Structure formats: C-alpha cells, structure tokens
A and B are shown apart, each in its own frame.
Chain A
Amino acid sequence: MKILACIKQVPAKDAPLAIAEGGAWIREADVSFEMNEPDSFALEEALRLKEKHGGEVVVLSMGPERVKQTIKEALAKGADRGIHIADDIFFELDPLGSARSLAAAIAKESPDLVLTGLQSDDHGFGQTGVLLAALLGLPHATLIMQIELTDGRMKLKRELEAGWFQWVEAPLPAVLTIQSGINKVRYATLKGIMAAKKKELATISRESLGVTGEATQRIERIYVPQKSKKTEFITGTPKEAAGKLIEKLRHEARVL
C-alpha cells in the first residue's frame, strides 16, 4: 500500500512572532520552524499502517528551502522518500491554491491513501485535506481517531463534537485528516537519522506543476488581536501575586 502523508512546516510553538513589513506574514528570520503538530500525528499513523500492512510512505511538503528539514525529519522517523514542492511565497496562497498544487503532485503518485493533519498551527485554515479529496475526486473522512484496514476497505472512527464519535466505512483510495492525539508520535532514532541521508528527497518547483486557477481569497493583514476584555495584570513575587489575586477574587470579583 502506498501512503502519502502531507506535512507542513510551521513556526515553533513558543517562537516569538513578529509581523513582517507589509503585514500579511511573519518575520521568518526571527523564528525557528518545526513539523506542524497535527501533521506529525498523520505521519505517525502512516508509518504504523505501513508497519502493519506493508508498502511505502511518501511525505509531501510545500514551502521554501527550510521545509526540507521537516521532510528529513519525517524520513528519519521512517518515511521512505520525500517530495518537496519548492515555493518561496507559498504563504500567499489561499487554501484552494495550496491544495491545487499539492493535489497536482499527489496525482502523479497515485497513492492508495492520503493522510494529513486536521489543520495547520500557522494559517489554521483546516481545509487542505478536504480540498485534496475534492480535487483528486476521492472520498474522504476527517478527524479520524482510529483506522482499521481490511481487504481494501477502511473502518474509521471519527471524532464529533462534545464527546461523540462515529464509525464510518470508506473505500480506498481515499483522503483522511487525522485528529490530534490519535497516537503517540515517535522520535527519530540515531539510526533513522543516518538512514535518512540515503533516502530520496525530490524537489519540484510549484510552477512546474502547471497549476492554474485564480485565488479565491487574500489575507490583507495580520495583527495582534484586539482584546475583548480588559485584563488586570497582577505583579509581584509569586507569594505577593497569589495573595493579591485571592484578595481580588474574594472582594472585587466576589467569586470565592
């Protein structure tokens, strides 16, 4: 079985963000990047399916040169080969535009299963997996918490809201978006890191995919959100701050 995992590289969780000149993206020079956490669950699930059912895991990522580092991390964890769609201005793409480029690269691979995280921690569009299914003409299911694969059909556990779940059956090929927490993500071993150096990492330019189609939306600017509430910040040593807070909760907010 050929499994293709789409992974995105995003700013590290605790990286301080500064908004770039022009205001529609962040100043990249100031931040470190890591694999989008939801996608790391998708990659882990791809590796586990391969270990159980055999086959190949291909990882696909789009972005500037730095993205290769995240693909290499996936190869070190056990993916068989990587595809990098090189594009320095990928962050200007709308969800449909990104998905069109990814879908064009995926179509060439004809995988049995496409996995990706439910959303990215940077743009957070949360649309890519579903759009890939639409563009590739494949069935899909989202927010998957368990995959049972037998005889070319999948039984999938979907997470719904407020503690509800649902089993859904789907054929292959298909696209699934994986819910965070489905598995425990592995770390790359030293052996894996060494082995990754010999694995194929193909780079193709986004232009070479020949994707057309107008953007449907544009981010005009990003900014620090306006507060909906006035927060009273309490300062002092931990002991002082704790005392002041309890005092305020008792006598000002009157909730204790």
Chain B
Amino acid sequence: MNVLVITEQRDAKLNPTSFEALAAGQQIAAETQGRLVGVVVGKGVAGLADELAKIKLDEVWLAEHDLLEAYTPDGYTTALSQVIVQAKPDLILLPHTYQVRDFAPKLAASLGKGMIGDCVGYRNENGKLVFVRQMFQGRTAADVVFVGDGPWFASLQAGAFRGDQLAQGAAKAPVRAAAVELRPEQIRTKPMELFREAKQAVDLTQAPILVAVGRGIKALENIALVEKLAQALGAELCASRPICDEGWLPMDRQIGSSGQTVAPKLYLALGISGAIQHVVGMKGSRTIVAINKDANAPIFEVADYGIVGDIFELIPALTEELSKST
C-alpha cells in the first residue's frame, strides 16, 4: 500500500505531530510492502523538504506556491488534490490538528473520497486496515474500515504514534517538486496575522503538580474548594475547556487540544469525564489520579489511581488529610 503523509509546518518548522504521522506511515508502508512519500506544503519550505528527506522514506514531494505562504483551506485543498492526483497514493495520512480538521474533509470530498478522522491506532488484519477511533466523547471506541476504492484518508490523534521512533534513512531520499497550479481567485477567504490573546500568566508546563477540575465542579463558588486542595499540594490549578468557557477559571489555565499540553509528575483530575480533547493534553503525566462519580468515565482509562465518588466529599477530605500529616 503506497502511503502519502501530508506534514504540517508553520514558520518553516514542522509540527511534532507530523513526525507521528510519518511514524505511522513508515509502519503501514513496511507492513504492506508499499512506498512512503512525505509532502511539505507552503512557500519557501525547500529546507524542510531536505530535512524530511533524511528520514526513512522513498520520496519527498515539495508543494510550493506563492499563494501557499499563509494557510487557507481553499489553497491547501486545491494544491494537495493536485499532489494526490500526481502521486497516486492508496492511503493519505495526516496529523489530526486544527488545521487538518479545517481542510482535510474537503480535500477528501473534492476527490469523492472519505476520511476516517482522529484515529488513535490501527490494526492490520491480513492486509485490511482497521482504524480505531473514539466515539461518544471517549466513552466507546469504534473499529472503522474504508469501503470502496482509494485513495483513503485518515487523520491521527496527537500521541497515537511515536514520533521519536521514526526510522532515519540510510541515504537521503529524493526531493521532488510537485506541479501546483493556483490562481488568487480560487482562494475565497483572507487569512490575517496569528495572535495570542491573554498573556500566559502561568506556564502550567513547568508545574510539578497540577490539580485539574472539570464540569463535575458544577458552579463557580465551588472552585474555592479546589483552590484549597491545590494550595495544600503546592500545585497549580487548571481545568478542562468547559470550566474556562464558563469563565470560572482564566483561559490560560485550560489543559487540552485548545489549551496547554502538560506532563507533570502528578495530575489530579477532579470531576473530569476525560473527553479526548482534554486527555491529549495530560496523558503524558507521570502519575494520574482521577476522581469521578461515574465509574465508566473515560478518564479512568488513563488513570493510575482512581476513586469513584463524590468530589464534594473527597476534595475536602484530601485537603484535610494533607494538612494534618504535614
């Protein structure tokens, strides 16, 4: 099976999830005796293509155009559909980033094909690829297979494959320029500068202990309870997205795909169900404790220690226990 991996770059730097997608590509190409092609998209990114050529793959395709300098879904879709028609892969892999979510379904649809999005893994059943993804906010997993002829598209959840296990090539792979035709009028949206809103008051990535709170906390006035526990632990307080959406904690304390990614030595998840958008931001933590009233909450899948119970009883009990024994 010939695999084509579309990498993602910003400011001429490859997104780390691109390496994870390439690692998956190496694995699938090896298992199915296929070729692996990596694609770099943008303007003035030949250096990245050269960098990519060092890893173990058969070819790097460089899709460059003045109109690809800034990302637009129209520009990327038009250019990449041309690359796919020229390269004729069977399977196209992409990292499941916000940018990929923005253009990849359209790219697949423009070729009359479908994408299995946000995969956490795959199984090779005698040559048939079965992709595993989550449903119901992580409460169930699903085995999904492609139907009909390729090319097939799949995007891969951050952390599903190991970018650091990428095999390097014995020799540099050839870099090839793809023919890209793009006209300004094909790009209907106009992107402007990227910006960051709030000054990041806290760098949660540096905190050794994090106490995270989710929907289970129910109301703003209950945040004080969690603050006390965080204090007793010498921890920083953080939250899943809904808490920050409500304004109960500032946005810069959000953990997950739209917030910060952390890996502290201890992460306490209190009243957090464990939707994938949150889990991707904290699953690398050394020790994870989850407290939730629902024994089936997906957060327990990544927890080292779990307590099924009422956080309104357990949070004060933990705070008290810590204050008396230190």
Contact = CB atoms under 8 A, between A and B. Distances in A.
Contacts of B87: none
Contacts of B103: 130
Contact of B130 (A11, A121, A220, A249): A220
| Residue of A165, A226, A245 most packed against chain B (CB within 10 A) | A245
B74 interface: yes
A225 B98 contact: no
Given A127-B105, A170-B189, A241-B317, A222 B117 contact: no
Interface in B306-326: 306-310, 313-314, 316-318, 320-322, 325
B188 A134 contact: no
Nearest to A227: B301
Interface stretch (B27-35, B50-58, B140-148, B171-179): B140-148
Given A95-B105, A142-B101, A255-B286, A228 B301 contact: yes
A75 B280 CA distance: 36
A130 B193 CA distance: 22
Interface string A144-164: 000000000000000111111
B300 A231 contact: yes
Contact of B318 (A126, A164, A245): A245
Interface string A209-248: 0000111111111111111110111110011011101101
B118 A163 contact: no
Q: Is the interface of B mostly helix, strand, loop or mixed?
A: mixed
A121 B137 contact: yes
A94 interface: yes
Interface string B104-129: 11101110111111100000000000
B184 interface: no
Interface stretch (B36-44, B219-227, B256-264): B256-264
B134 interface: yes
Interface stretch (B61-69, B161-169, B194-202): B194-202
Contact of B289 (A17, A159, A249): A249
Contact of A218 (B118, B138, B144, B306): B144
Contacts of A141: 73, 102, 189
A126 B275 CA distance: 14
Contact of B194 (A19, A96, A166, A170): A166
A139 interface: yes
A107 interface: no
Contacts of B190: 168-170
A235 B209 CA distance: 23
Contacts of A180: 241-242, 245
Given A216-B146, A246-B321, A223 B140 contact: yes
A166 B193 contact: yes
A37 B82 CA distance: 37
A13 B138 CA distance: 12
Contact of B109 (A14, A134, A161, A242): A134
A187 interface: no
Nearest to B308: A233
B189 A253 contact: no
Given A221-B143, A232-B305, A234-B306, A122 B136 contact: yes
Given A217-B116, A241-B317, A234 B307 contact: yes
A170 B72 CA distance: 11
A90 to B, nearest CB: 15
Given A243-B321, A245-B305, 13 more contacts: A17-B140, A95-B115, A96-B109, A130-B103, A130-B106, A161-B98, A162-B260, A165-B195, A166-B194, A180-B241, A217-B144, A222-B135, A255-B286
- Would you list the 6 A-B pairs with minimal beta carbon distance, nearest first? A216-B114, A181-B245, A242-B317, A139-B188, A238-B313, A127-B105
16 contacts: A124-B135, A127-B101, A130-B103, A130-B104, A131-B106, A141-B189, A163-B260, A166-B194, A215-B114, A217-B114, A217-B146, A219-B142, A223-B140, A225-B140, A234-B306, A256-B209
Interface of B: 73-74, 77, 97-99, 101-106, 108-110, 112-118, 130, 133-148, 152, 188-198, 200, 209, 233, 241-242, 244-245, 251-252, 257-261, 265-266, 273, 276, 286-290, 294, 296, 298, 300-310, 313-314, 316-318, 320-322, 325
